[in-house]
Amino acid sequence: MSPLGSFGKILIFFGIAMVVLGLIMILGNKIPWIGRLPGDIIIKRDKVTFYFPLMTCIIISLLLTLLFSLFRK
């Protein structure tokens, strides 16, 4: 395969990934448990709030790993 064909496949992959991320951002508020799981870190001080969705990231990572392993075979 030519280098240009490989680059085209990479662009298509990133385009699909951007569409999926956009849909997640649009529909994210409609899924109530996203970002509110036990294990998500929220620290609130006077004027600062630090938020890190640790457990949400772990679950999304596991789901994506399973999804990609199914499509790889």
Q: What is the extent of the structural domain holding 15?
A: 1-31
**Are residue 12 and residue 43 in the same domain, yes or no?**
no
Q: Write down the pTM of the prediction.
A: 0.57
Give the confidence band of 47 by pLDDT, cuts at 50, 70, 90: very high
Percent of the chain with pLDDT over 70: 95
- Asked whether residue 58 carries a pLDDT value surpassing 80, the answer given is yes
Residue 38, φ and ψ in degrees, nearest 5: -60, 130
CA distance 1 to 73: 21
**Are residue 23 and residue 37 in the same domain, yes or no?**
no
**Are residue 36 and residue 14 in the same domain, yes or no?**
no
**Are residue 46 and residue 62 in the same domain, yes or no?**
yes
Number of domains in the chain: 2
**Are residue 16 and residue 2 in the same domain, yes or no?**
yes
**Are residue 70 and residue 36 in the same domain, yes or no?**
yes
**Are residue 18 and residue 51 in the same domain, yes or no?**
no
